[in-house]
């Protein structure tokens, strides 16, 4: 698998990650953004954003994010779709693991936002990594010719279920609120030969043995009794709001509320690692704040990597 060395690796392509990349790229630092999905972050799902300074008030979050991403790429950022599942920050090079390859950076920025969610289904936490997964691209191949369940109706659930149809014998798609008929991607998924849609159905429990998941208990809205479905994998895609830090392990200090601890320069307690945007879990979760965090971290990284004593402002171009 590919290993890529670069100056700055940024995990997350939301307003925090894209702004940081814009500044590091303009400071001539080779920068890679690893983004699991440009459509699922907090800004990407914002229907309309009217308070981002200088931008027309009727723009969608997704379109604003596209502008930010394009601007960073225009200055040299290498934007890649890849879901990060682990990091190793023990050495000078910070290593980031994804199914698409391994990335090594002299500086690492975590900007994965706060669209995570505490485990909420019975058995979800217990079987996480033993049949429960949040990443079909990472784990789909383990389920070749097996039956799996996908829970959730958002864009991410639909895209990830599509990935699983390439491996699993049957993908059971469980949705408590059904997708709209005009949602072409959802309809395309439902019409796949190896997809069974469990309409208006709630996941009640994930069950298994020491070896891992064996099935899920489901309840249809119109029925009294629950029903057991035998599956070996359960892929959960529900929205929520909790900093996404699962891939950090215990390598970076977190606050009690789950946000990453940073100083005034957005540096974490681990040298060479910064954290920006909603992942800090501050009370002021706004696109402009996330972008500001990205700028601060980028300038601090430029100082760190070039051993500068002071911050070099972006507008001195000589």
Ligand X SMILES: Cc1cc2nc3c(=O)[nH]c(=O)nc-3n(C[C@H](O)[C@H](O)[C@H](O)COP(=O)(O)OP(=O)(O)OC[C@H]3O[C@@H](n4cnc5c(N)ncnc54)[C@H](O)[C@@H]3O)c2cc1C
Degrees, nearest 5: CA angle 195-199-202: 110
| Residue 261 interacting with ligand X (CB under 6 A) | no
E strand or H helix at 216: strand 212-220
| Contact characters 112-151, ligand X, x per CB under 6 A | xx-x------------------------------------
| Residue 59 interacting with ligand X (CB under 6 A) | no
| Contact characters 191-210, ligand X, x per CB under 6 A | --------------------
Q: Which of 10, 21, 42, 68 binds ligand X (CB under 6 A)?
A: 42
Degrees, nearest 5: CA angle 259-265-270: 60
CB 304 within 8 A of CB 140: no
| Contact characters 17-36, ligand X, x per CB under 6 A | x----------------xxx
HSE (CB half, 13 Å, CA atoms) of 126? 13
Q: Is 90 exposed, middle or buried (0-12, 13-18, 19+ CB in 10 A)?
A: exposed
The pairing of strands 147-151 and 170-174 is parallel
| Residue 287 interacting with ligand X (CB under 6 A) | yes
CB of residue 53 to ligand X, shortest distance in Å: 10
CB of residue 96 to ligand X, shortest distance in Å: 9
Q: Which two tokens stand for residue 233?
A: 């994998």
| Residue 111 interacting with ligand X (CB under 6 A) | yes
* Backbone phi, psi, residue 299, to 5°: -65, -35
CB of residue 115 to ligand X, shortest distance in Å: 5
Shorter beta-carbon distance to ligand X: residue 204 or 288: 288
Shorter beta-carbon distance to ligand X: residue 50 or 228: 50
The number of residues that bind ligand X (CB under 6 A) is 37
Terminal-to-terminal C-alpha distance of the chain: 40
Residue in the block written with tokens 């998941």:
213
Q: Give contact residues for ligand X (rule: CB under 6 A).
A: 11-17, 34-38, 40-43, 45-46, 49, 51-52, 83-84, 111-113, 115, 244, 247, 277-279, 285-288, 290
């Amino acid at each position: 698998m590919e290993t890529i060395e670069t100056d700055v690796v940024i995990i997350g392509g939301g307003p925090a990650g894209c702004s940081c990349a814009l500044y590091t790229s303009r400071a001539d630092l080779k920068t890679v953004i690893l983004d699991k999905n440009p459509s699922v972050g907090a800004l990407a799902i914002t229907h309309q954003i009217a308070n981002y300074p200088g931008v027309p008030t009727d723009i969608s979050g997704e379109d604003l994010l596209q502008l930010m991403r394009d601007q960073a790429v225009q200055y040299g950022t290498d934007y890649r779709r890849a879901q990060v599942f682990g990091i190793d920050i023990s050495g000078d090079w910070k290593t980031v693991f994804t199914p698409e390859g391994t990335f090594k950076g002299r500086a690492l920025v975590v900007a994965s936002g706060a669209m995570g969610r505490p485990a909420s289904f019975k058995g979800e936490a217990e079987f996480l990594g033993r049949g429960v997964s949040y990443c079909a691209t990472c784990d789909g191949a383990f389920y070749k010719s097996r039956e799996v369940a996908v829970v959730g109706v958002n864009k991410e659930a639909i895209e990830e279920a599509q990935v699983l149809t390439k491996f699993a014998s049957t993908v059971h798609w469980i949705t408590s609120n059904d997708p709209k008929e005009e949602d072409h991607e959802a309809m395309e998924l439902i019409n796949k030969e190896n997809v069974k849609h469990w309409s208006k159905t709630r996941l009640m429990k994930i069950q298994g043995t020491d070896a891992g998941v064996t099935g899920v208990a489901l309840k249809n809205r119109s029925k009294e009794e629950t029903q057991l479905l035998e599956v070996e994998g359960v892929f959960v895609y529900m929205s929520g709001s909790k900093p996404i830090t699962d891939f950090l392990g215990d390598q970076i200090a977190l606050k009690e509320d789950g946000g990453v601890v940073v100083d005034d320069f957005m540096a974490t307690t681990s040298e060479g690692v910064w954290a920006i945007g909603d992942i800090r879990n501050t009370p002021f979760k706004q696109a402009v704040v996330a972008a500001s965090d990205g700028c601060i971290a980028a300038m601090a990284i430029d100082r760190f990597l070039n051993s500068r004593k002071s911050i070099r402002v972006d507008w001195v171009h000589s």
